[in-house]
Amino acid sequence: MHTLFVTGMTCGGCTKAVTKAIQLQDANATVQVDLATQKVEIESRLDREDLITIVTNAGFPVLAK
Ligand SMILES: [Cu+2]
């Protein structure tokens, strides 16, 4: 399980965009987005660096931890 804090998500469309971007690389990934806290929980075979790159490239900057 990976937890990322992702900025710029404001609505269900953003949630879908982030989820789709990840699932393009790992169709079996599960993505749980909490818009209020900007927290995204991801279950995936992808590693953390790949996930950060994918989400950032989708247009949503990830806060470094
Ligand atoms: Cu949106």
At position 50, the amino acid (one-letter code) is: D
Expressed in angstroms and rounded, the spacing between residue 10 Cα and the centre of ligand 1 is: 5
Tokens matching residue 45:
């075979």
Convert 24-46 to b/e letters by CB count within 10 Å (16 or more is b).
Answer: eebeebebebeeeebebebebeb
Domain boundaries in the chain?
2-63
Residue 3 pLDDT level (bands cut at 50, 70, 90): very high
The topology (CATH level 3) of 2-63 is Alpha-Beta Plaits (3.30.70)
Q: Is 18 exposed, middle or buried (0-12, 13-18, 19+ CB in 10 A)?
A: buried
11-57 residue pLDDT tens: 999 999 999 999 999 999 999 999 999 999 999 999 999 999 999 99
Between the CA of 28 and the centroid of ligand 1 the distance, in Å, is 23
**Rounded Cα–Cα distance for residues 25 and 32 (Å):** 16
Ion ligand 1: residues, Cβ under 5 Å: 10-11, 13-14
| pTM metric for this prediction | 0.93
pLDDT at 65: 62
Interval between CA 17 and ligand 1 midpoint (Å): 8
